[in-house]
A and B are shown apart, each in its own frame.
Chain A
């Protein structure tokens, strides 16, 4: 084992160098976020903080309501994930198990919606949301994203792999589709639901264009818009800006630690579909 590791030393050295380069912006963020203002302004710049200066976090929270942004983003992402899990699983069940007239046609229409880029829909959607009085509201931030063709395909693919015998046995027992859906299909499809959930949570959390358009008040901003406000505060020192960035990055990194498997599955589900 040790011998093999030594033989591969050049590979490890190259990988370590690459890893450092890829991680550097993140390391930079956290190390500056922990520096005192004097350290952050020193020249030549400090690479690492001399101690853990946590006052930056409370200072930046006093200047910009990042806690409120985090709450908004969390609420919006959770609502979108919940909505998509419901709408996608229902539609996926229909495509997988209920033979109805026009199934192929409707399925093709669903498939083709993936080709529509969001830029084409954004102006009419903006007009719709404004005319409904949904500007600066959670409804405006979430409702347009409550259904996704991607979610339907991902779940349908998974539902089709469930053993046929299970379904037939349930039908012989006299279970209706609603019972089968709720009592058999949903519980067995939990891994696929988790994949869709984590993937769409991150997607919604990272959304930029739409919240930028339909939120104006600070209290309704999501983190992505809030964080870009930090950059335009010219007077703010780096350690404060990056303390704010660190607060926003932390939930994403935690999601990555616990949800990497789901994220990978979500991304590769798209790849298989091609």
Chain B
């Protein structure tokens, strides 16, 4: 009897203690995550004044506007283009470097450090450096092109080139993160497999695509999902390098959202955009998860 009662008391104590330990986290999540999420949904159906106060009910008008105004669809297109420019190139480049530095040779540690370095550099710092490199007349990139006899490129001022230029900078910036993830993935493949490949006499390229890529597919899959989500959330380098221009060529979704909310001060319409972005990211995650995971080889 006494034992049963003390068990009950212990359980109650654990319940209280458990939530007590969670309470700081729950407090912050509630205030800055759950409440804002609900508030965004409410805002997206409202007309707001610049103070963020609701002054009228909008219904689905904000959502309808998004898909008829053209500007939002253009920003969606710019984002998809930016994703296609940055994600495959970023992963392939990092994969090549990770394979090359995976050999057990002297000096590889130094290369590991160098190729991881961009992971510590922020979008803002990187963008300021590249803004100077991209300068049409004083920039080192055009000077370099001139040295090998090519004509200068209007990096950030031509609407055709600007998305390419911003992507180039982004691939460089993401290289460190991608390299770190892929190197860790390669290290996870056991030495035995690498040795047995050598004994089998498989050439480097055959072993690469027949063995390495399937074994690495969980890592590649993770990197793909994260990279696509990151590409859809790009803001800093756009704000510094192009401000969405020229002629809206680099006006990606988050930049468009920023302008709608904090330049035009239309919180209602901007919230609708934010929720669409949320839905797209969620859909992409689930789609990749269910469709690609079937094709991924887990060891």
Give the residues in chain B near A217, CB-CB below 8 Å: none
Per-residue contact bits, chain A 8-29, to B (CB 8 Å; 1 contact, 0 not): 1001101100110011011011
Interface SS of chain B: helix
Question: How extensive is the interface on chain A, given as a class?
Answer: 35 or more
Give the residues in chain B near A241, CB-CB below 8 Å: 128, 132
CB distance from B57 to the nearest CB of A (A): 18
A177 touches B17 (CB 8 A): yes
Question: Taking the complex as formed, is B60 at the interface, i.e. its CB lies under 8 A from any CB of chain A?
Answer: no
CB distance from A105 to the nearest CB of B (A): 12
A22 touches B115 (CB 8 A): yes
Minimum CB distance partner of B281 in chain A:
A117
- State A93–B14 Cα separation when bound (angstroms): 12
Query: Given contacts A127-B52, A271-B184, are A224 and B270 in contact (CB under 8 A)?
Result: no
A252 touches B122 (CB 8 A): yes
- State A123–B258 Cα separation when bound (angstroms): 9
Give the residues in chain B near A26, CB-CB below 8 Å: 117, 121, 129
Minimum CB distance partner of A273 in chain B:
B222
A224 touches B43 (CB 8 A): no
Q: Which of B154-200 contact A (CB under 8 A)?
A: 172, 175, 177, 180-181, 184-185
A19 touches B105 (CB 8 A): no
Question: Taking the complex as formed, is A133 at the interface, i.e. its CB lies under 8 A from any CB of chain B?
Answer: no
A100 touches B121 (CB 8 A): no
Give the residues in chain B near A104, CB-CB below 8 Å: none
Question: How extensive is the interface on chain B, given as a class?
Answer: 35 or more
Option from B24, B40, B118, B267 in Cβ contact (under 8 Å) with A120? B40
Question: Taking the complex as formed, is A94 at the interface, i.e. its CB lies under 8 A from any CB of chain B?
Answer: yes
- State A122–B125 Cα separation when bound (angstroms): 23
Question: Taking the complex as formed, is B21 at the interface, i.e. its CB lies under 8 A from any CB of chain A?
Answer: yes
> Chain A residues in contact with chain B, CB under 8 A?
1, 4-5, 8, 11-12, 14-15, 18-19, 22-23, 25-26, 28-29, 44-45, 86-88, 90-91, 93-94, 98-101, 103, 106, 110, 113, 115-128, 130, 143-147, 149, 152, 177, 181, 202, 205-206, 208-209, 212-213, 223-225, 227-228, 230-231, 238, 241-242, 245, 248-249, 252-253, 255-256, 260, 263-264, 267-268, 270-271, 274
A-B pairs with beta carbons under 8 Å apart, 14 shown: A8-B105, A18-B100, A94-B18, A99-B18, A119-B274, A119-B277, A120-B277, A122-B274, A124-B35, A126-B52, A208-B124, A208-B239, A224-B123, A227-B124
